[in-house]
């Protein structure tokens, strides 16, 4: 695994998702503390879930000083940014989100591959690193997780993990090519509204399953 590429993908993903979390928090009218909490959770939530899955101590998060500072300053900048500039970011939100998805999915898959884990774990690590932070963000913001109901999303993270694990991609240009492909297919799925099959059950509005008094 190329050390520099690993860190490049980490930094790209952290900036994209930290800003995404901060903007969602401002949309929900959270105060500055809430903006920082949601931004940091979005940036690091997927990595924490991945570490729990593959047995890496969660406390390793505190050793990532550069990444924490990058996320902190990204959130601060977007919090102080004029509304007009935030509007420009939001118009390209799907693209920046695709960048974060691709960067984190590849980073998570590389992390698991470097640990010598089997293909199934590499694919799962790629998926959870790519979508975990966004899922936590949406739940904390009181929204249905976007990654489970929008255009095809998590599938691209799984396929990125498959490429890293099965094809043994590790060279700089191979990983950059994979990154570009994940971003491209994510944007195609947004443009053409590609969706996975879904099934809705009639008459389930207001019903309760499993319950408690």
Q: At 69, which helix (H) or strand (E)?
A: helix 65-80
* pLDDT per position as a tens digit, 60-108: 878 888 899 999 999 999 999 998 888 887 788 888 888 889 989 998 9
pLDDT in tens, 1-25: 445 777 887 888 899 899 999 999 9
Q: Residues with Cβ < 8 Å from 89, sequence gap 6 or more?
A: 19, 23, 78, 81, 96
pLDDT class for 211, splitting at 50, 70, 90? Answer: very low
pLDDT bin (cut points 50, 70, 90) of residue 204 is low
**What mean pLDDT is predicted for residues 178-188?**
94
């Amino acid at each position: 695994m190329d050390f520099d590429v690993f860190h490049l993908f980490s930094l790209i993903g952290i900036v994209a998702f930290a800003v995404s979390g901060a903007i969602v928090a401002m949309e929900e009218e959270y105060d500055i503390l809430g903006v920082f909490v949601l931004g940091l959770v979005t940036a690091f939530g997927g990595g924490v879930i991945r570490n729990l899955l593959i047995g890496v101590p969660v406390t390793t998060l505190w050793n990532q000083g550069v990444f924490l500072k990058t996320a902190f300053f990204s959130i601060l900048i977007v919090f102080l940014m004029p509304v007009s500039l935030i509007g420009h970011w939001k118009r390209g939100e799907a693209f920046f989100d695709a960048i974060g998805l691709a960067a984190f999915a590849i980073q998570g898959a590389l992390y698991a591959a470097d640990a010598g884990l089997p293909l199934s774990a590499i694919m799962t690590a790629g998926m959870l690193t790519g979508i975990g932070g966004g899922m936590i963000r949406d739940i904390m913001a009181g929204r249905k997780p976007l990654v489970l109901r929008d255009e095809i999303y998590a599938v691209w993270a799984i396929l990125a993990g498959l490429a890293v694990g099965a094809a043994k991609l590790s060279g700089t240009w191979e990983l950059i090519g994979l990154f570009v492909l994940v971003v491209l297919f994510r944007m195609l799925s947004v443009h053409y509204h590609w969706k996975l099959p879904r099934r809705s059950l009639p008459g389930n509005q207001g019903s309760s399953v499993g319950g408690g008094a």
